[in-house]
């Protein structure tokens, strides 16, 4: 498993050994910044020679001069202080870890430009960058002796406030990494039951959990979800997670995730090229589990429900066929035109169950729902759909703040018509055009009047482009976005 650094925050103290890490705002006086670490002005001269000016994420790495208590002095550029932002600090922390990955002991001096929130975000990026998924690389795991975790100490003048901020930020980073683990894990290891068990483990943090099996789902009439599951030997599961951090009388907020542990397409089978990526078709469910971890670990002052529908979409002799008509828990009937449009069938019943059981004040679902959302937005925004402007605006703001960006796409009666069926109340695909929108219209038919938003994370949850704070295939997208949204719009 990945060797993550241990990160602690302390008051300023003289550095005795290891690497010293400093952050230089653009145009900073390097001699003043390095202070006692740079007895003979070597660092300042190195900065001059390298034309190091403190541009964001540029690195100056100098062997410490004789007499310096540190072995190495690493200065990373902050960029312009007026451009500072949460995603900026996270990226800077990630870049710093990239430059220092092999160093056993690092002491960072957080300057005046870094308040408690900046320190926490920096540390969060540092930790998330260190995440790797190499448990199946036998050579790495067979090393003699145990590799030692790197130690990072961040010295801050306001250590108490920074520690408090870091406690929350670390909870969120652990949630992100949990989601990454779930997405990266192959489907032969992480089936529906195994996934449910991983979610159940959140009980250690005070989360209440409940698992619905096939029998219970049949009784509830979840014909849409069960139709998808029937072509696999893996039994379906519905996992409910409850975090009761708010007042007893407060209605909960609810998060619903698509958990297709593998999507072969079913009888409408997918082409072979790239099909292995469909182990990540539970990225929405992974984000919900990661978010519940984050909320519980930081003891969020909110009542939150997490609910995920876990199925495998396979084409065996019992699989559902194109043309089949299923009855959803809501009573509405669905003509299955394409068995590869399975995520919406799963979510239809999970949304209905969530809405009926908990009457949440708002429901947000996350799903790797359509390839079309990648055509529209690429890998840098998730698609956002909502029946409520305030919810959509809140999520858009949280996206800009956290750096997990979303872009709202329209809904409307003209699109809704596209999924009317000749034989049933609706069909599960709306034709070639507007594929992400018709998928969202389908979901909308299962949420009633409850304020709701749908995030199509097919482009953002998996197969992620590497960046300063993520080198993993699974990104954990959605955890930071929704944690930020909960914090800014639901708590307190």
Task: Catalogue the active-site residues.
Answer: 270, 344
We find the least distance from the C-beta atom of residue 398 to Zn ion, in angstroms, to be 25
Write down the number of H helices and E strands in the chain.
Answer: 16, 17
CA dihedral sign of residues 210, 215, 216, 220: positive
By the rule CB under 5 A, 360 interacts with Zn ion: no
Q: In what order do the strands lie in the sheet with 6-10?
A: 6-10, 151-155, 105-109, 19-25, 72-79, 59-63
Mark 309-348 with x for binding to ligand BES (rule: CB under 6 A) and - for no binding. -----------------------------x-xxxx-----
Query: Both tokens of residue 185?
Result: 């894990």
By the rule CB under 6 A, 406 interacts with ligand BES: no
By the rule CB under 5 A, 231 interacts with Zn ion: no
We find the least distance from the C-beta atom of residue 208 to ligand BES, in angstroms, to be 30
Comparing CA positions, the residue from 293, 297, 174, 192 lying closest to residue 241 is 293
Helix pair 192-200, 283-297: axis angle to 10 deg: 10
Which of 54, 94, 259, 435 binds ligand BES (CB under 6 A)? It is: 435
> According to DSSP H, which parts of 237-333 are helical?
283-297
> According to DSSP H, which parts of 70-222 are helical?
86-100, 116-130, 138-141, 159-184, 192-200, 214-220
Q: How many residues bind Zn ion (CB under 5 A)?
A: 4
Length of the chain: 492
We find the least distance from the C-beta atom of residue 53 to ligand BES, in angstroms, to be 41
Residue at shortest CB range from Zn ion: 263
When the beta carbons of 279 and 487 are compared against ligand BES, the nearer one is 279
Pairing of strands 72-79, 253-263: unpaired
By the rule CB under 6 A, 404 interacts with ligand BES: no
| Cα angle, residue 491 at apex, residues 450 and 457 outer, rounded to 5° | 55
User: Is the separation of the CB atoms in 432 and 465 below 8 Å?
Assistant: no
> According to DSSP H, which parts of 209-330 are helical?
214-220, 223-229, 283-297
When the beta carbons of 147 and 186 are compared against ligand BES, the nearer one is 186
Comparing CA positions, the residue from 259, 130, 235 lying closest to residue 183 is 259
When the beta carbons of 370 and 450 are compared against ligand BES, the nearer one is 370
With 0-12 / 13-18 / 19 or more C-beta atoms within 10 angstroms meaning exposed / middle / buried, residue 233 is: exposed
* Residue 372 binds which of ligand BES, Mn ion, Zn ion, none (CB < 5-8 A, kind-dependent): ligand BES
Comparing CA positions, the residue from 367, 365, 360, 356 lying closest to residue 329 is 356
We find the least distance from the C-beta atom of residue 463 to Mn ion, in angstroms, to be 15
* Residue 429 binds which of ligand BES, Mn ion, Zn ion, none (CB < 5-8 A, kind-dependent): ligand BES
We find the least distance from the C-beta atom of residue 125 to ligand BES, in angstroms, to be 26
We find the least distance from the C-beta atom of residue 197 to Zn ion, in angstroms, to be 22
Which of 168, 185, 263, 416 binds ligand BES (CB under 6 A)? It is: 263
Select from 100-108, 144-152, 180-188, 367-375 the region that touches ligand BES (CB under 6 A).
367-375
We find the least distance from the C-beta atom of residue 94 to ligand BES, in angstroms, to be 25
Q: How far apart are CA 479 and CA 177, in angstroms?
A: 9
User: Is the separation of the CB atoms in 260 and 370 below 8 Å?
Assistant: no
Which of 281, 312, 335, 483 binds Zn ion (CB under 5 A)? It is: 281
Select from 107-115, 196-204, 234-242, 273-281 the region that touches Zn ion (CB under 5 A).
273-281
Q: What is the DSSP letter of 18?
A: S
By the rule CB under 6 A, 458 interacts with ligand BES: yes
Q: What residues are designated binding site?
A: 258, 263, 281, 340, 342
* Residue 338 binds which of ligand BES, Mn ion, Zn ion, none (CB < 5-8 A, kind-dependent): ligand BES
Positions in the binding site for Mn ion (CB under 5 A): 263, 340, 342
Count CB neighbours of 216 within 10 A. Answer: 13
Which of 238, 372, 391, 453 binds ligand BES (CB under 6 A)? It is: 372
* Residue 371 binds which of ligand BES, Zn ion, Mn ion, none (CB < 5-8 A, kind-dependent): ligand BES
Q: What is the DSSP letter of 458?
A: T
Q: How far apart are CA 132 and CA 315, in angstroms?
A: 33
Comparing CA positions, the residue from 337, 439, 1, 355 lying closest to residue 177 is 1
By the rule CB under 5 A, 365 interacts with Zn ion: no
Q: What residues are designated binding site for Mn(2+)?
A: 258, 263, 281, 340, 342
Which of 38, 263, 468, 483 binds Zn ion (CB under 5 A)? It is: 263
* Residue 378 binds which of ligand BES, Mn ion, Zn ion, none (CB < 5-8 A, kind-dependent): none
We find the least distance from the C-beta atom of residue 368 to ligand BES, in angstroms, to be 4
Q: What is the DSSP letter of 293?
A: H
Comparing CA positions, the residue from 156, 157, 160, 100 lying closest to residue 125 is 100
When the beta carbons of 435 and 451 are compared against ligand BES, the nearer one is 435
Residue at shortest CB range from Mn ion: 340
CA atoms within 13 A on the CB side of 77: 17
Count CB neighbours of 385 within 10 A. Answer: 25
When the beta carbons of 41 and 431 are compared against ligand BES, the nearer one is 431
Which of 257, 343, 435, 478 binds Zn ion (CB under 5 A)? It is: 343
Residues that bind Zn ion (CB under 5 A): 260, 263, 281, 343
Residues found near ligand BES in the complex (CB under 6 A): 263, 281, 338, 340-343, 368-372, 429, 435, 458
């Amino acid at each position: 498993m990945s060797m993550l650094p241990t990160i602690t925050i302390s008051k300023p103290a003289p550095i005795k050994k290891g690497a010293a890490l400093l952050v230089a705002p653009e145009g900073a006086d390097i001699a003043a910044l390095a202070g006692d670490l740079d007895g003979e002005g070597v660092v300042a001269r190195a900065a001059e020679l390298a034309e190091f000016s403190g541009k964001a994420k540029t690195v100056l790495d100098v062997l410490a001069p004789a007499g310096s208590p540190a072995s190495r002095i690493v200065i990373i550029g902050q960029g312009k202080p007026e451009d500072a932002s949460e995603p900026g600090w996270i990226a800077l922390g990630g870049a710093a870890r990239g430059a220092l990955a092999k160093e056993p002991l690092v002491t960072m001096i957080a300057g005046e430009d870094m308040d408690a929130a900046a320190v926490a975000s920096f540390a969060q990026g540092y930790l998330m960058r260190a995440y790797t998924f190499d448990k199946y690389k036998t050579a790495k795991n067979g090393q003699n002796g145990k590799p030692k975790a790197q130690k990072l100490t961040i010295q801050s003048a306001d250590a108490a406030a920074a520690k408090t901020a870091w406690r929350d930020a670390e909870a969120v980073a652990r949630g992100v990494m949990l989601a990454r683990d779930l997405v990266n894990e192959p489907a032969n290891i992480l089936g529906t039951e195994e996934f449910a068990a991983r979610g159940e483990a959140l009980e250690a943090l005070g989360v209440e959990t409940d698992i619905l099996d096939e029998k219970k789902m049949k009784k509830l009439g979840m014909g849409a979800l069960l139709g998808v599951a029937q072509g696999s030997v893996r039994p379906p599961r519905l996992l409910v997670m409850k975090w009761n951090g708010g007042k007893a009388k407060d209605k909960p907020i609810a998060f619903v995730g698509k958990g297709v542990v593998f999507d072969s397409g079913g009888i409408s089978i997918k082409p072979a090229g790239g099909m292995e990526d469909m182990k990540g078709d539970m990225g929405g469910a992974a984000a919900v589990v990661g978010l519940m971890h984050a909320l519980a670990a930081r003891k969020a002052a909110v009542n939150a429900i997490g609910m995920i529908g876990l199925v495998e979409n396979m084409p065996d002799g019992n699989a559902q066929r194109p043309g089949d008509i299923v009855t959803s828990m809501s009573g509405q009937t669905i003509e299955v035109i394409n068995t590869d449009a399975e995520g919406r069938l799963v979510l239809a019943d999970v949304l209905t169950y969530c809405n009926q059981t908990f009457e949440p004040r708002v429901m947000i679902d996350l799903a790797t729902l359509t390839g079309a959302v990648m055509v529209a937005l690429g890998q840098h925004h998730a698609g956002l759909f909502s029946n409520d402007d305030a919810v959509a605006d809140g999520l858009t703001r949280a996206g800009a703040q956290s750096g997990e960006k979303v872009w709202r796409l329209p809904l409307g009666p003209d699109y809704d018509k596209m999924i009317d069926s000749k034989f049933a109340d609706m069909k599960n695909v709306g034709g070639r055009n507007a594929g992400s929108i018709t998928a969202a219209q389908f979901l909308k038919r299962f949420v009633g009047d409850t304020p709701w938003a749908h995030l199509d994370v097919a482009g953002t949850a998996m197969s992620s482009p590497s960046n300063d704070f993520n080198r993993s295939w699974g990104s954990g997208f959605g955890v930071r976005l929704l944690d930020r949204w909960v914090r800014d719009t639901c708590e307190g």
